[in-house]
């Protein structure tokens, strides 16, 4: 039976030398830890990020193919009212988000004790099957159910992959590890979503989803070949994982993430009409605006990972401040092309920069419930997605125009900053340090 690092034990990471078993002492017990070269570590991180790329593609490609899906699956309704048919087809995005919200804490709490690599492979297989079903099922109701099923592994994958990446990167670089995993999601918004949307417009939306299923199939192979085996937490139980929800700091951090991404989705949901109806751009340039947002998200994610490693709380405050500046600038200058391009880029930077910091903060405050907290973050972010789209839609429906969601996003920054401040003051009142209090547990690589 292989020995494992105990949660919270004092330990150091071994040097990365491929295949060498280096002895390390933990609580007086000498164990052998198989190590990796830097090149092998980068390949493992790339495999984890490929899964994020597939997730970003499957989550957002529906937004660009709504008319195609509505015309195919809801032909009678589409003939009567394309607007109503498109709105109903939008339920596919909501079904996926609901799957994320339900699946993230459920799977993570149940599966925390299982070997992490094997669990990632199961989740990648579930993504592949769910996406293939989305492509081939014949009716709207069945496709809706398939999108819900495809969303179930989302949060658990990101949560577990983040813990694996943090372990691979070593102490002091957890934020960078999380950012590597999330980089696949942000790059998907630059490359994957526009390319697969174009494919779907030319060859049909079902072909687009089959292409996403291929990405998940490649992810399965990459994970199997490149990611070292890691045991789960043998002492984990569902009851222990659920104790995370008894911690006020966990709730404050989750709410901060939901509010932050709620503000982003106020803008992102209506970026197309903002670009055409307000800025006056032709519809053909909307994909370019989406690419600019994606580039901002990619930049923010990479900067945010490093900033979180330097000081996680300061990083959250910084990106909220940037969020406030960028949303204000966008609202005031959106009618000009330079203003639109500049500030949607910065909105992407700010929103994506917050995410690694939130994920790292959860690792700090979750105690032994690392897997559940890391996964629950993505439930919170998807609740924020729905919240932002809903609140922004209310103001548009009320006749305040397409700039009004930008102002709603700005107002959501107020409770976001308030929640971070509350968290900091509460921690200080209890004598806690604002520095990272816990690193992800080191686990032996290459042992099941």
pLDDT digits 0-9 by tens, 146-193: 999 999 998 888 888 888 887 887 776 767 777 778 788 888 878 888
**95 located within any domain:** yes
- Alpha-carbon distance of 143 to 72, in angstroms, equals 12
- Alpha-carbon distance of 114 to 106, in angstroms, equals 14
**336 located within any domain:** yes
Q: What is the number of other CB atoms lying within 10 angstroms of the CB of residue 95?
A: 19
> Which residues in the chain land under pLDDT 70?
1-36, 83, 87, 112, 172, 174, 232-244, 368, 370-371, 374, 431-448
Mapped onto helix, strand or coil, the DSSP state of residue 304 is: helix
CATH code of the domain in which 226 resides:
1.20.1250.20
**Quick check: 60 and 193 in contact, CB under 8 A?**
yes
pTM of the model as a whole: 0.71
The number of domains in the chain is 1
**63 located within any domain:** yes
**4 located within any domain:** no
Mapped onto helix, strand or coil, the DSSP state of residue 190 is: helix
**370 located within any domain:** yes
**436 located within any domain:** no
What pLDDT does residue 124 have?
Answer: 94
**22 located within any domain:** no
**444 located within any domain:** no
Residue 438 has what DSSP assignment? -
Q: Is the dihedral of CA 208, 159, 173, 45 positive or negative?
A: negative
Residue 80, domain extent: 34-429
What pLDDT does residue 222 have?
Answer: 95
What pLDDT does residue 328 have?
Answer: 95
Q: What is the DSSP string of 359-399?
A: HHHHHHHSTT-HHHHHHHHHHHHHHHHHHHHHHHHHHHHTT
């Amino acid at each position: 039976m292989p020995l494992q690092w105990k949660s919270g034990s004092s330990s150091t990471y071994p040097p990365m030398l491929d295949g060498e078993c280096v002895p390390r002492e933990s609580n007086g017990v000498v164990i052998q830890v198989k190590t990796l070269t830097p090149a092998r570590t980068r390949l493992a991180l790339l495999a984890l990020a490929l899964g994020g790329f597939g997730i970003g593609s499957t989550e957002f490609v529906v937004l660009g193919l709504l008319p195609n899906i509505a015309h195919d699956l809801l032909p009678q309704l589409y003939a009567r009212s394309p607007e109503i048919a498109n709105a109903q087809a939008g339920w596919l995005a909501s079904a996926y988000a609901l799957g994320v919200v339900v699946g993230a804490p459920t799977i993570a709490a149940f599966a925390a004790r299982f070997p992490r690599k094997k669990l990632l492979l199961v989740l990648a297989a579930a993504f592949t099957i769910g996406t293939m079903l989305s492509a081939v099922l014949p009716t709207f109701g069945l496709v809706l159910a398939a999108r819900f099923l495809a969303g179930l592994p989302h949060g658990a994958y990101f949560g577990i992959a983040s813990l694996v990446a943090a372990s691979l990167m070593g102490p002091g670089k957890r934020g960078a590890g999380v950012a590597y995993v999330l980089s696949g999601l942000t790059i998907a918004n630059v490359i994957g979503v526009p390319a697969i949307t174009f494919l779907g417009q030319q060859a049909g939306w079902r072909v687009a989803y089959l292409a996403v299923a291929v990405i998940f199939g490649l992810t399965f192979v990459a994970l199997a070949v490149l990611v070292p085996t890691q045991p789960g937490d043998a002492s984990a139980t569902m009851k222990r994982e659920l104790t995370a929800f008894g911690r006020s700091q966990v709730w404050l951090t989750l709410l901060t993430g939901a509010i932050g991404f709620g503000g982003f989705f106020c803008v992102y949901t209506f970026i197309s009409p903002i670009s055409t109806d307000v800025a006056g751009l032709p519809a053909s340039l909307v994909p370019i605006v989406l690419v600019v947002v994606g580039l901002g998200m990619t930049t923010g994610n990479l900067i945010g990972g490093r900033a979180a490693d330097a000081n996680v709380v300061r990083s959250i405050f910084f990106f909220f401040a940037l969020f406030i500046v960028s949303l204000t600038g966008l609202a005031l200058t959106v009618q000009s092309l330079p203003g639109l391009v500049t500030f949607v880029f910065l909105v992407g930077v700010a929103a994506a920069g917050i995410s690694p910091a939130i994920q790292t903060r959860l690792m700090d405050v979750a105690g032994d419930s690392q897997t559940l907290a890391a996964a629950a973050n993505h439930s919170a972010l998807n609740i924020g997605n729905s919240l932002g789209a809903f609140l922004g839609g209310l103001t548009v429906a009320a006749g305040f125009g397409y700039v009004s969601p930008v102002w709603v996003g700005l107002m959501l920054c107020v409770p976001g900053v308030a929640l971070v401040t509350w968290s900091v003051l509460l921690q200080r009142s209890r004598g806690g340090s604002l520095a990272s209090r816990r690193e992800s547990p080191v686990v032996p690589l290459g042992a099941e």
